[in-house]
Amino acid sequence: MQPDFIPKLSVVLDGYLSQAEFRDLATVYSVPLDCASASHFNWLAAAKEITECLPQGNTRSLLDAVLELVEDRNDDGVFNTRYETQVYHQRMTVKIRTVRECLKSGASRNEIALPAGRVFSAPSMLRELLGEATRPILVVDPYVGRRTLDTLRSTSTPIRLLTAANARAIEAGFSAACILFRNEGFDIEVRRANHLHDRHLAFNGRCWLVGGSLKDAGEAMFNATEIMDTRDAAVRLLEERWAQATPYDPRDDVQ
């Protein structure tokens, strides 16, 4: 996001929204913002927090709803007020447009689709996506290898990796690589489950359905699509599978 996004957003919010309306909208969208309950509310802090939380849960939906309300009130001000006030609203129109453009250019991706042969682009896109994580990551992938860990190296949050329990699920060399991965400071826990077929990524209150194993990203066709309408149900099922899975210690496979 551009450096001037937060102050511009704070001016836009302050110009067209009351603190009570902002709090009510945050409640409607189930977005728990600290600024909304602070005793000394200020719009700059609100803009900063909502920007930092954009990849999480319903924060982006909340901001879109807020900006739609702001745009409606700005339009009304431009067309239905006296000249002196119209100038103010016209200047605010420019700021609102800038905020929208910043959001569009800095939006977190919700879909990746790459053909086979993108052996550099696909892992890079995955690392970029996973690098946005500010909460623990859950990776569900029936087949893992050394390259799985390579796609996870941009993360700074704890990683839970759920893979299949069959003999072919873990490639040779993965266990030794996982030990080295931990030695470099990465916090990763691995578990195994029976009858694991689909692949998912879940973090920051979001969830993606992944079309191929992370270790094969770029070698085979790769795609990942964010789950929207059924996200909560999908994450709940993934958490149940994790809770029922068997812990795996890579040291047991290394002689």
Question: Is 124 in the same domain as 249?
Answer: yes
Mean pLDDT, rounded, of the chain: 88
The amino acid present at 168, given as its one-letter code, is R
Question: Is 134 in the same domain as 239?
Answer: yes
Question: Is 73 in the same domain as 154?
Answer: no
Question: Is 22 in the same domain as 46?
Answer: yes
Question: Is 69 in the same domain as 134?
Answer: no
Decide which of 105, 137, 156 is a domain's last residue.
Answer: 105
Whether this model's pTM surpasses 0.75: no
Question: Is 74 in the same domain as 130?
Answer: no
> Can you give the residue range of the structural domain that contains 47?
5-105
Decide which of 75, 105, 135 is a domain's last residue.
Answer: 105
Question: Is 52 in the same domain as 69?
Answer: yes
Residue 179 has pLDDT above 90, yes or no: yes
Question: Is 91 in the same domain as 134?
Answer: no
Question: Is 25 in the same domain as 99?
Answer: yes
pLDDT in tens, 49-73: 888 887 667 788 888 889 999 999 9
pLDDT in tens, 10-53: 999 999 999 889 989 888 888 888 887 777 888 998 888 888 88
Question: Is 170 in the same domain as 197?
Answer: yes
Residue 137 sits in a domain whose CATH number is 3.30.870.10
pLDDT in tens, 120-169: 878 888 888 888 888 899 999 999 999 999 999 999 999 999 999 999 99
Confidence of residue 3 (pLDDT cuts 50, 70, 90): low
pLDDT in tens, 94-112: 989 888 888 776 555 677 7
> Domain count of the chain?
2
Question: Is 72 in the same domain as 168?
Answer: no
Question: Is 142 in the same domain as 236?
Answer: yes
Decide which of 52, 75, 105 is a domain's last residue.
Answer: 105
